[in-house]
Chains A and B, each alone.
Chain A
Amino acid sequence: MSWVAEGFIRDAIRSAENFGVPTVAMATMPSPFTNQSPGGVESMVSAGIDQVIQGLTEPPERGPAVDAGFTTITEPMLNFEGKDLLDTMEVMNRQFLEWRWSDGFPLVPPTPDRVERMMAGTTRDPQDVVTTLEPGFGVATVEKIAANAVMAGCRPEHMPVLITAVECISEPVIYLRNKAMSTGPHAPLILVNGPIAKELNINYGVCALGPGSISYANSVIGRALRLVMMNVGFTYPGVSDMDTIGSPIKYSLCAAENTVASPWDSYHEDLGYAPDDSTVTVHFVYGTCELYDFQNWEAEKLVQGFASAACNTVQVSTGKWLVGRRSDPRYHTEEKEHHFMMICPEHALQFHRQGWDKQRIREEMFRRARMTFEELMIGQEPKAFEIAHPEMQWLWDSPKTMLPVVESPECYSIAVVGAAAGRGAFFWGAGAPVTRLIKP
């Protein structure tokens, strides 16, 4: 039996159904135990202890009847009526909003004809199962992905990128259930590498992450992935996406790499792919800040500034290595916490002129982005640190010891993105990025 906060009842019931135990016993308390004083926790437990006793001794019934928070419909086709075509489109959009199937922006109707055309963008059969997406265990057929791609405004040629992105987020190491359902603002950052980026006109330069017409492909591919997470994975806000505040970067976050201006091998070549291979990388990230520096040309000064971006005590991944590694218990996966750095061409060229490659930058970031043990432990559970690193408990006696904010230099992923002027972007990551080869 499980303690559940009232604000999470709908999430808990839906999760219990999804995970195959719809009648799991729950004791409810008014607030989460987190951020409560010991006295506050104890008074909530005292008030709810009878529910615990009942849960341990009486066969549980199906959870209390609550509004599911979204609508499930299994019919393959849906019909709408309006006084003209535009009105009918609005009727569909209003209905999808009511069912919670929308990301909030107007959706393009996924008519059979449009979905058919969308599926022509891939050689895969419409009923091919690409994967099953958590948390709802939705079966991601090519047709369902295509329907969401149409709604997002994609073109058929975007399908191979989108399908590969869906494959990426279903990799066990991503632990999608964690990122989709969390109270944190996990956004799937998509990086496209290889010839397909140019073929699809995926923006890598000015305003690559949008908005704007020049980032059309970026915008709709990123949007489609979010819609797939919602309507195929059942990651519905307020039900199975418990993001406390939300984030605008969850709508869409996609770019290509600026290989034209980059002095280095591309991101996917660093991973061993050939330049002619096309790949998709997905990294769930929490948020972003600038890597701004107009002042300096010396690599040492540039990287010193960049390192300050990684030193943010209230970012969940900062120092997380001290309490272990993110893991999906079903697959025994382990993820180191990575950050994603989009270095702008101006800065990349300065580094290159001074003989710095990406590995040197990673090593310097690792060396310079350090904080004291006591700062890193501010938001961490001491008992988790004790379990993860029994050999490091001496740090309690030396709280001013400087430690790296991530586990190793490889935890800084680097790609060159953007246009002229010394402004890059730093993304605080959740776990590690996953890269896959795009197949037609």
Chain B
Amino acid sequence: MVKLEVVNPQAITQVVSVPLAPRLSEITGKRIGLYWNMKAGGDVALEHTARLLEERFPKTEFKHFVGSVGASMRHATAEDAELVAKDCDAVVGTTAD
């Protein structure tokens, strides 16, 4: 048998870690952010999400957000995310396809 040793072409990865936001103990009375990246249909999905949540959890408030940069996909900057976090108790997003 012939042996072949090769250099692994796959890179080592840099590990990134972001702490997850705490979950809500209850939804009623909370303010929920609705983040849309402008891809088609995401706005309809978020509107309906809000409608269904409101039916089940009255007095819940909703606030819509889009990112401050981008084109057909609008992205949230770190500053945008900070503002949303200050303003809302939780966020539901439609961020891709």
Contact = CB atoms under 8 A, between A and B. Distances in A.
B24 to A, nearest CB: 5
Given A72-B10, A85-B4, A89-B4, A329 B27 contact: no
A33 B39 contact: yes
A83 B1 contact: yes
A41 interface: yes
Interface string B10-27: 111111111010011111
Contact of A144 (B1, B9, B16): B9
A337 B75 CA distance: 17
Interface residues of B, number: 59
Which of B9, B41, B74, B76 has most A Cβ within 10 Å?
A: B9
A337 B71 CA distance: 10
Interface in A114-136: 115, 132-133, 136
B52 A45 contact: yes
B37 to A, nearest CB: 10
A20 B18 contact: yes
Interface stretch (A254-262, A316-324, A339-347, A367-375): A316-324
A85 to B, nearest CB: 5
Chain A facing B: main interface SS: mixed
A384 B73 CA distance: 9
A231 B9 CA distance: 6
Contacts, number: 240
Nearest to B3: A81
A338 to B, nearest CB: 14
Given A72-B10, A133-B11, A325-B71, A52 B49 contact: yes
B18 A32 contact: no
Contacts of B18: 19-21
Contacts of A19: 16, 18
A151 B9 CA distance: 9
Interface in B51-97: 52-53, 56, 66-67, 69-78, 80, 90-97
Given A3-B92, A73-B8, A323-B71, A18 B2 contact: no
Nearest to A149: B9
A213 interface: no
Contact of A183 (B11, B41, B69, B97): B97
Contacts of B10: 72-73, 101, 138, 144, 231-232
Interface residues of A, number: 100
A30 interface: no
A11 to B, nearest CB: 8
B74 to A, nearest CB: 7
Given A2-B92, A81-B2, A384 B74 contact: yes
A323 B39 CA distance: 12
Given A56-B24, A81-B3, 7 more contacts: A5-B97, A45-B48, A77-B6, A87-B2, A150-B7, A325-B71, A381-B40
Interface of A: 1-5, 8, 12, 18-21, 23-24, 29, 32-36, 38, 41-42, 44-46, 49, 52-53, 56-60, 72-85, 87-89, 91-92, 101, 109-112, 115, 132-133, 136-141, 143-144, 146-148, 150-151, 178, 183, 227, 231-234, 242, 316, 320-321, 323-330, 332, 334, 380-381, 383-384, 387-388
Interface of B: 1-18, 20, 23-27, 32, 38-45, 48-49, 52-53, 56, 66-67, 69-78, 80, 90-97
